[in-house]
């Protein structure tokens, strides 16, 4: 029997090919911008094709599997497990919980975003130490911390569900309003605010189109990206990391991990994206 095989792709090769392409001048001229929706540049279109190919085989799945294992099998020193963790829909319920945070958690007396809640539970039930988590809150090339894998798993359990961050509790409303305020707050050596780059349609940094986070259909683009697998380096990064990096890019002081201000910004972004469909952990170049 004749069998033919062909090796299709290695991610590294694709990445390199794309980088080369991005440096060439755009072949197609962009169609004239319509008043309502800003025209997509040829580069953005190429980007989207590239992302589509990779979404099918997103290595985020490897971290999802690790997170699932911790969620289901890990035991704390007192015999606790994540089955006791309430993500807002009842103890141990993961399905759909991610797209319904940030929300008010009475047991903690705080509005918490998904990452904050997951870390809270891992400390409470699995015996993780706050000091250890703060030592390395975000992934780097050497290590992806356990809580990042768990967040990836939790996020993946809301794949293809509608974002529905609650706004019933007064504290949830407060978080949204504080976030909205921070979004527009100008400061730092460049006199930047989040809104400088993300407050109007059609903004970009070099070739990167930036979403206008005041609009639902664009806020989803930012929401969708994180947690995401970053191919440069090969690790998972979370929404908290992204927000931290926004602070850095604005030359603001670095927020402490899981701070109220970041939760407020996430509340503002998520509530703005309410009603949009979340497609699961992202992939970034």
19 lies in the binding site for other proteins (CB under 8 A): no
17 lies in the binding site for other proteins (CB under 8 A): no
Q: Which is nearer to other proteins, 88 or 282 (CB)?
A: 282
61 lies in the binding site for other proteins (CB under 8 A): yes
72 lies in the binding site for other proteins (CB under 8 A): no
Among 26, 42, 62, 89, binds other proteins (CB under 8 A): 62
Among 17, 19, 37, 65, binds other proteins (CB under 8 A): 65
Among 45, 57, 130, 181, binds other proteins (CB under 8 A): 57
Q: Is 97 exposed, middle or buried (0-12, 13-18, 19+ CB in 10 A)?
A: buried
4 lies in the binding site for other proteins (CB under 8 A): yes
10 lies in the binding site for other proteins (CB under 8 A): yes
Among 23, 24, 29, 142, binds other proteins (CB under 8 A): 142
236: β partners: 229
Q: What whole-number distance in Å separates Cα of residue 283 and Cα of residue 133?
A: 24
Contact criterion met (CB below 8 Å) for 164 and 97: no
How far apart are CB 4 and other proteins at their closest, in Å?
5
How far apart are CB 186 and other proteins at their closest, in Å?
35
Q: What whole-number distance in Å separates Cα of residue 30 and Cα of residue 41?
A: 6
7 lies in the binding site for other proteins (CB under 8 A): yes
Q: Which is nearer to other proteins, 6 or 23 (CB)?
A: 6
Q: What whole-number distance in Å separates Cα of residue 277 and Cα of residue 224?
A: 9
216 lies in the binding site for other proteins (CB under 8 A): no
| Active site annotation includes 85 | no
156 lies in the binding site for other proteins (CB under 8 A): no
Structure token digits, residue 119:
């870390």
20 lies in the binding site for other proteins (CB under 8 A): no
How far apart are CB 26 and other proteins at their closest, in Å?
27
Phi, psi angle pair for 34, to nearest 5°: -85, 160
Going by C-alpha positions, the residue among 249, 133, 134 that lies closest to residue 189 is: 249
Q: Which is nearer to other proteins, 63 or 104 (CB)?
A: 63
If DSSP states are collapsed to H, E and C, what string results for 225-253?
A: HCCEEECCCCEEECHHHHHHHHHHHCCCC
How far apart are CB 243 and other proteins at their closest, in Å?
25
Q: Which is nearer to other proteins, 59 or 96 (CB)?
A: 59
Q: Is 167 exposed, middle or buried (0-12, 13-18, 19+ CB in 10 A)?
A: middle
Which candidate in 85, 121, 194, 246 is catalytic?
246
184: left (phi over 0), alpha (psi -120 to 50) or beta: alpha
Going by C-alpha positions, the residue among 204, 172, 170, 164 that lies closest to residue 26 is: 204
Q: Summarize as ranges the residues that interact with other proteins (CB under 8 A).
A: 1-12, 15, 56-57, 59, 61-62, 65-66, 141-142, 229, 231, 233-234
| Catalytic positions, written as ranges | 246
């Amino acid at each position: 029997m004749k069998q033919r095989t062909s090796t299709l792709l290695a991610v590294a090769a694709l990445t390199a090919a794309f980088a080369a392409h991005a440096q060439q001048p755009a072949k197609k001229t962009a169609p004239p911008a319509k008043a309502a929706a800003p025209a997509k540049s040829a580069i953005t279109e190429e980007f989207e094709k590239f992302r589509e190919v990779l979404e099918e085989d997103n290595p985020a799945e490897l971290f999802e599997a690790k997170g699932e294992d911790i969620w289901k099998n890990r035991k704390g020193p007192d015999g606790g497990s994540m089955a006791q963790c309430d993500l807002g829909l009842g103890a141990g319920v993961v399905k759909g919980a991610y797209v319904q945070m940030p929300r008010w958690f009475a047991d903690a007396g705080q509005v918490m975003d998904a990452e904050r809640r997951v870390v809270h539970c891992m400390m409470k039930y699995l015996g993780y130490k706050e000091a250890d988590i703060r030592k390395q809150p975000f992934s780097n090339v050497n290590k992806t911390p356990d809580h990042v894998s768990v967040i990836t798993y939790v996020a993946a359990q809301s794949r293809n569900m509608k974002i529905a961050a609650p706004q019933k509790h007064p504290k949830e409303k407060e978080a949204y309003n504080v976030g909205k305020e921070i979004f527009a707050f100008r400061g730092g050596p460049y006199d930047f605010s989040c809104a400088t780059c993300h407050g109007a349609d059609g903004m970009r940094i070099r070739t990167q189109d930036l979403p206008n986070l005041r609009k639902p259909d664009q806020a989803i683009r930012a929401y969708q990206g994180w947690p995401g697998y970053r191919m440069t380096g090969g690790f998972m990064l979370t929404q908290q990391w992204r927000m931290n990096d926004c602070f850095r890019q604005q030359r603001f002081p670095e927020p402490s991990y899981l701070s109220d201000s970041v939760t407020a910004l996430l509340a503002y972004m998520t509530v703005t994206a309410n009603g949009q469909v979340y497609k699961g952990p992202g992939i970034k170049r």
